[in-house]
Structure 1
Amino acid sequence: MELDAVGKAIVQYQLVPLVHQANLGLEVTMHRVDSHGCLAATRHPHALGSAQQNQQLRPGFSASALKFSTPVRRDIPALMAYLNGLNTAARRTLGEGEQLWPLSSTPVLPTDLATIPLADVDQIGYQRRRDLARKYDIQKLMTTGSHVNLSLNETLFTRLYTETFHQQYHSYVDFRNAVYLKVAQGLVRMNWLIQYLFGASPSLAITDTTSRHQRSSVQHPDGRYSQVTGDYTSIDRYVAKLTATVRDKQLLSVSDFDGPVRFRSNGQLATMTRQGVYYLEYRGLDLDPTSPVGVDANAVAFLRLLASYFVMMPALPVEMVPQVNIQADQLTQQVLAENPTTASVQAVPAAQVLEALADFVKAYNLPNEDAVLLKQLKKRVTDPKTTLSAQIAMQADPLAWALKQATRYQNAINERPFELAGFTTLDLSSQQLVQQALTRGVRVDIVDAPANILRLTKLGRSQLVVNGSGTDLNPQALTTVLTNKAAAKQVLAEHGVQVPASQTYHTANQLIADYDRYVQAGGIVLKAADESHKVVVFRIMPERELFEQVARQLFEQTPAVMAEEVVVASSYRFLVIDGRVQAIVERIPANIVGDGRSTVKALLDRKNGRALRGTAFKWPQSALQLGTVERYRLDSYHLTLDSVVSRGTQILLREDATFGNGADVLDATDDMHQSYVQAVEKLVADLHLSIAGVDVMIPNLYAELVPEHPEMAVYLGIHAAPYLYPHLFPMFGTAQPVAGQLLDALFGNED
């Protein structure tokens, strides 16, 4: 394992970690199909917008094809997480009965292939697709797969060039090109092994039950729509050959080159030698049908490892490249044509390559996950039936199996519709905003997952978002002030709206000392003065012992407690986006309703067993608890957990109605009298807020708010980063599209 000059310099300057820190991107194409595996007859999902606006989720060759494109990521788990998010977001836009075809082999195509509808994004694109369909076999154009884009760490290039190679190369671009060239040559030579390990299309069409199975019918030359091969002798010759094939009309354009590796730059092909190669595109991966996203992270990791290896290994002598490339193509063709369930004639060389890579990993202290990966891949060499292609080939009915996979993946997105795969470390509101962002082509970068800080970027414009709705559309100083409930209430009072009287306590003993005063007042609201969600309401004061217990429990969780007068009315949250009330929910305190047969415990379990109920702020509707306050409330009804509640009787387990205490959330957007909407919008405008959540107690949402009776709307609080998810997942009523409305406020409605 003799290193070349580049490899030796990398070791000398301790740059091996940089070699492995490649930047990776994925492009994955999948078909939309119906429940029978036939191409979906519907147009590209409207929610995904146009290809010009959405480069992340755009049409492919046919109207049924959907192309997923991730931004560049250095970390493979982060890359796969983004792809998972894109895949889930896209699936949730599909029409009724539609799903994504999990194979590179074509689904059920119409008898007359000329009737396949092509993607019709714009006139130029549509004409190009028509030209492709006329020139090439349309069935081969209908196969799918994934491309891996790989660029080496730029710091690696600059260090090596500055330290050593500025003396050996005419320019920095020449040096970069030389390194990318030998990596590309290596990937071409190892294409046969990549196909053996990850091939997953034993037949070109799923309906083909007569042709002999292959390791990959899609990647085999007979399955490629273009037979043009690349010249990897030099960048100049690569450019010259592709240019000539277009001139000779072998290709319609350079983008039709269908070889396993492409050189990519930021400019035109003709200027690549001068501007330099920016990244490599490996185009030879079949879809992995055992993954809902169609990509095996192990395949991406293996390609990265191969690239790292070839960066440090000697390049082929120039005079040997053409012959070696021919041999590599022949070897790839041989392996691809093999029966996937039998041992390859190249099993021994395959094992030797994997062993050499294992030695490379060990010698240069590459991450242990690479060593683990190679051990797993060796099993595919020793037992060919463990390869993906063999698993598919052994299915008695491949179409039925593929449809079963497709249905399972599609159903899975609705098991927890409030979560977005790949982004579950974020809070619920942030996940919903990310889902909408991905469907609209907005790039999402997680700045800080625990703090729920996102950077959203579209068409070169970026916006920071905190906790799903906190943005710089609001004044920073006021945003900070509103996190304190006492300060927020003072701000509200200064703007002339009705607020309940209150007092802030800093010790439990101070609060307990005022117990008798609150008994005379007829009730109390206790809430944490900071950003936490702790609230307790007693409309009738409890016995002193219970009050002391609750007060001390609160102070164990927060340093200050605000005691507030009780307002007897219904609780509403107004969500304001871009200065307008976009959604309103009513919050009904945690409760159970008897059916005349079930015990209290059974009623609790039944309600908590509903699909959207779970841990507060992790699920859209918080589960009902049985804490100190809830047990006190049951006692007030003279009930135990074993009591049977009469039919239709509602038992309130709490008197506060908050998102974290088990309240029922009902959409009230269309029911609220416009006078309250106008009042809230005026308040928010006076505060110069663009985004806000306003909590208001209203006795009758249908009665007009009049100046003579300000008590008809008592304001409890205002939030500069309000939750989005309650409006998206109400217990009853219509879900409001508030995440999309927030994106409109951030970027404008450009679709």
Structure 2
Amino acid sequence: MTLNFQQRLDIITTKSDSLVGFGRGIEREALRIKPDGKLSETPHPYAFGSALCHDSITTDFAESLLEFITPVAKDVHQLFDYLNDIHHYVACHLENNEALWPISMPCYVQSEENVELAQYGKSNIGTMKTTYRQGLKNRYGSMMQIISGVHYNFSLPASFWPTWSEIHQSELTGNEAQSAGYLGLIRNYFRYGWVIPYLFGASPALCKSFLQGKKSDFNFKEVGKGTIYLPYATSLRLSDLGYTNSAQSSLNICYNSVDNYIASVHKALHKKASQFEKLGIKNGDEYIQLNDNVLQIENELYASIRPKRVTKNLETPSQALNARGIEYVEIRSLDVNPFCKLGITEEQVNFLDSIFNLVCD
């Protein structure tokens, strides 16, 4: 028997305690820039520690693209205290009068060759991470890869999932119920997630250097010295000009079950791509890319939302999901908010929490 809306609401009302204690985490990216507004070309500052090992301050694609990672917080104020502390430390230890670029689309970059790939040392995993980024550079170009964003990680408390099973009249329990619930959330997010860039899109303009002299089909207008924009754009970062991958358009990643999701990701990991085969894998002793498949590794799957599980040592994301199910979801469609120093506001987080409660299938 399927319960109607009022019956579901009655269950939630009587068990409202099961919705206390959301887990939240933020990953915020930001480019380091020189005082003249151009991209920094200096190495990752020593004061920030090892980009490979640091829990809170690392790099993404480039040495100049910082990524700040908060611990999981059960309270929104605590979450922003974490993020503010990371920002404060970084701001105090930036070198050469550098600053953080406050928007998603990159600052002035004279040439893609000025973008230094992130370096992680000589260990096997460090070498692999840099080689993976070399593949991204050769596949898509460095300009796309230094676009910044904010990722929001969200989890419901363990006490919620028995309530979810009751609402859905499901016999699933434990990790199986939790995974099924998160997959329902993901499917609904694909239906209604457009509201996030609609309300919070903050990249309607970009520096002309982003195009690197290439022509665009967009009917841009120009303002100031070298800034172009679309009058009704919300998020160029999420447009065909931004952080996208046409090679993945036919992958058909399936979110009906954990097994379906893992199988479709593994298929993509072993699917050849003619445009990447032409690049080759090595040039002499130097790697061009990790492999010539559609995805070099699972992280290359560009999606606005991902099912996630904290991995153990030497474990891939799919192995973690297969062993222990989905632990949380990662939302990847947030532009950096240029009107606040942290790139995201408490108001946005509260809105996202409300959305996730509504779309939790």
TM-score band, normalised by shorter chain: 0.7 to 0.9
Change (3 A) 1:138 1:294: same
**Alpha-carbon distance, 1:158 to partner:** 4.6
Q: Is the 8 A contact 1:103 1:288 kept in 2?
A: yes
Equivalent residue, structure 2, for 1:113: 112
* Structure-1 residue corresponding to 2:230: 212
Post-superposition CA distance 1:153-203 (Å, at most 9, x none): 112225655xx4898335422211111112112222222111111000013
**How many percent of aligned residue pairs carry the same amino acid?**
25
Which residue number in structure 2 is paired with residue 22 of structure 1? 22
Aligned to 1:247: 270
Separation in 1, partners of 2:42, 2:305: 33
* 1:174-323 correspondence to structure 2 within 5 Å: 174-205=176-207, 207=209, 209-210=227-228, 212-213=230-231, 214-227=233-246, 228=248, 230-248=253-271, 249-267=293-311, 268-270=317-319, 272-311=321-360, 315=361
Give the conservation status (yes or no) of the 8 Å contact 2:18–2:163: no
Report the alpha carbon displacement of residue 294 of structure 1 after superposing the two structures with TM. Answer: 1.0
Once the two structures are superposed, residues 341-396 of structure 1 have per-residue CA deviations (whole angstroms, 9 ceiling, x without a partner) of xxxxxxxxxxxxxxxxxxxxxxxxxxxxxxxxxxxxxxxxxxxxxxxxxxxxxxxx
Give the Å deviation of 1:4. Answer: 8.4
The 2-side partners of 1:160 and 1:80 are apart by: 29
- Give the secondary structure class of the aligned counterpart of 1:308: helix
8 Å contact from structure 2 (residues 112, 141) kept in 1? no
Q: Secondary structure at the match of 1:107?
A: coil
Contact 2:204 2:236 in 1 (8 A): yes
User: Counterpart of 1:72?
Assistant: 72
The equivalent residue for 2:84 is 84
Structure-2 separation of matches of 1:97 and 1:274: 47
Q: Which has the larger radius of gyration?
A: 1
Structure 1 residues 115 and 4: CA distance shift in structure 2, 3 A: farther
> CA 1:42–1:115 in 2, change beyond 3 Å: closer, same or farther?
closer
Partner residue of 1:659? none
Contact 1:226 1:256 in 2 (8 A): no
> What amino acid is aligned across from residue 233 of structure 1 in structure 2?
N
Q: Tell me what 1:130 maps to.
A: 134
Counterpart CA distance in 2 for 1:166 and 1:198 is 32
Say which of 154, 169, 188 aligns to 1:150: 154
| Conserved? CA contact 1:136–1:225, under 8 Å | no
Q: Report the Cα distance in structure 1 between the residues aligned to 2:46 and 2:320, rounded to whole angstroms.
A: 37
Relative distance call for 1:77 and 1:271 in structure 2 (3 A) is closer
CA displacement at 1:234 relative to structure 2: 3.1
Q: Which residue of 2 aligns with 1:554?
A: none
Distance 1:154 1:224, change over 3 A: same
* Aligned-residue offset at 1:121: 1.5
Q: Cα 1:210–1:57, aligned 2, differ >3 Å: closer, same or farther?
A: closer
Aligned partner letter, 2:147: T
Map residues 343-422 of structure 1 onto 2, 5 A cutoff: none
1:40 aligns with 2:89: no
Q: How many angstroms apart in 2 are the aligned matches of 1:160 and 1:188?
A: 20
Q: What does residue range 431-446 of structure 1 map to in structure 2 within 5 Å?
A: none
Pair 308,16 (structure 1): closer, same or farther in 2 beyond 3 Å:
farther
User: Any unmatched runs of 5+ in structure 1?
Assistant: 316-751
| Counterparts of 2:264 and 2:207, CA distance in 1 | 31
Instruction: Select the structure with the greater relative contact order (CA < 8 A; seq sep ≥ 6).
Output: 2
In the TM superposition, residue 53 of structure 1 has moved relative to its aligned partner by 3.4
Q: Could you report, residue by residue, the CA deviation over 1:505-535 in whole angstroms, capped at 9, with x for unpaired residues?
A: xxxxxxxxxxxxxxxxxxxxxxxxxxxxxxx
Aligned residue in 1 for 2:284: none
Q: Distance in 1 between matches of 2:162 and 2:43?
A: 47
RMSD of aligned Cα (Å): 2.5
Alpha-carbon offset, residue 152 of structure 1: 0.4
Partners of 1:178 and 1:7 lie apart in 2 by 20
- For residues 290 and 4 of structure 1, the distance between their equivalents in structure 2, rounded to whole angstroms, comes to 40
Report the CA distance between 1:17 and its aligned residue.
Answer: 4.3
Alignment of 1:327-726 (within 5 A): none
CA gap 1:101/1:171 in 2 versus in 1, 3 angstroms: same
Relative to structure 2, which stretch is displaced further, 238-247 or 276-285? 238-247
Which amino acid in the other structure matches residue 259 of structure 1?
A
Spell out, residue by residue over 1:261-294, the C-alpha distance to the aligned partner (whole angstroms, 9 max, x if none): 0000234314524521000000010001111111
Of 22-31 and 217-226, deviating more is 217-226
Q: Deviations over 1:212-267 (max 9, x none)?
A: 34210001243124243643333333222222112111121111111100000234
User: In the TM superposition, what is the alpha-carbon distance from 1:92 to its structure 2 partner?
Assistant: 0.8
What letter corresponds to residue 95 of structure 2 in structure 1? G
Alpha-carbon shift at residue 299 of structure 1 (Å): 1.6
> Any conservation in 2 of the 1:203–1:218 contact (CA below 8 Å)?
no
Partner of 2:62: 62
